[in-house]
């Protein structure tokens, strides 16, 4: 089975009262064309349109990527997803459950202020001629979106490797890069579950 990647964005998640009562959480689970450092191992960018093939799929909304804490689902009409010029916009009709009510309080207090998403890349491209390498995700299979305490996608500054790097350094870098990528995937999974 192919592993699911998880990415998080620390950004505004809003809560509002829905017509007829209930609460709706809105925000962005991902931003387009925003280079983001993934644990020091690579720089990742999600291209506009990457979520298009998943918008009609059965995607679930969770708290902290915990499949035991479902708070919405597209097939139930309680989760709505859309791509706009900025990114993947999310609207969740929060359930009248302990998780839904607790999340509403945590969002109001700003204890939880980020969103995250779990996915499998179906079309990505790597540029390993620079350090750190750059990954562009052009299409993906969206599995879930989550309210997340510790997003892995903070705003970062980017550093480029010198174009005069030696070939030996590049060969060593490519070997070390593959090892770092594997360690980072494990680390990111553990970090978001904290």
State pLDDT tens for residues 86-110: 899 998 999 999 999 999 888 888 8
Query: Taking 90 as the threshold, does the pLDDT of residue 72 lie above it?
Result: yes
Residue of higher predicted confidence among 4 and 32: 32
What torsion do the CA atoms of 35, 53, 66, 94 make, to the nearest 10 degrees? Answer: 100
Alpha-carbon distance 155 to 34, whole Å?
9
For the chain, the first-to-last Cα distance in angstroms comes to 24
Share of the chain above pLDDT 90, in %: 42
Tokens, residue 15: 């809560």
What is the per-residue pLDDT across 12-57, written as a single tens digit (0 to 9) for each? 555 555 556 678 888 888 889 989 888 888 999 999 999 999 999 9
Query: Taking 90 as the threshold, does the pLDDT of residue 130 lie above it?
Result: yes
- pLDDT of 39: 80
Determine contact, residues 87/30, Cβ cutoff 8 Å.
Answer: yes
Query: How many of the other CB atoms lie within 10 Å of CB of 192?
Result: 21
> Dihedrals φ, ψ of 192, to 5°?
-75, -20
- pLDDT of 116: 85
∠ CA 150-153-156, rounded to 5°: 120
Over residues 157-167, the mean pLDDT reads 22
């Amino acid at each position: 089975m192919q592993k699911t990647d998880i990415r998080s964005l620390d950004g505004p998640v809003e809560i509002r009262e829905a017509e007829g009562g209930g609460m709706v959480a809105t925000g962005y689970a991902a931003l387009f064309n925003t280079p983001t450092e993934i644990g020091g191992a690579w720089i990742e960018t999600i291209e506009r349109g990457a979520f298009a093939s998943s918008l009609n799929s059965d995607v679930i909304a969770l708290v902290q990527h915990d499949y035991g804490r479902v708070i919405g689902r597209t097939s139930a009409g309680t989760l709505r997803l859309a791509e706009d010029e900025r990114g993947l916009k999310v609207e969740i009709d929060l359930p009248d459950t302990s998780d839904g009510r607790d999340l509403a309080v945590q969002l109001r207090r700003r204890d939880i202020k980020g969103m995250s998403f779990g996915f499998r890349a179906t079309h990505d491209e790597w540029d390993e001629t620079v350090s750190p390498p750059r990954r562009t995700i052009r299409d993906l299979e969206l599995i879930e979106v989550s309210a997340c305490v510790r997003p892995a996608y903070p705003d970062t500054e980017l550093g480029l490797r010198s174009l005069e790097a030696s070939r030996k350094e590049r060969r060593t870098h490519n070997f070390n890069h593959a090892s770092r990528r594997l360690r980072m995937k494990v680390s990111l999974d553990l970090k978001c579950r904290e």
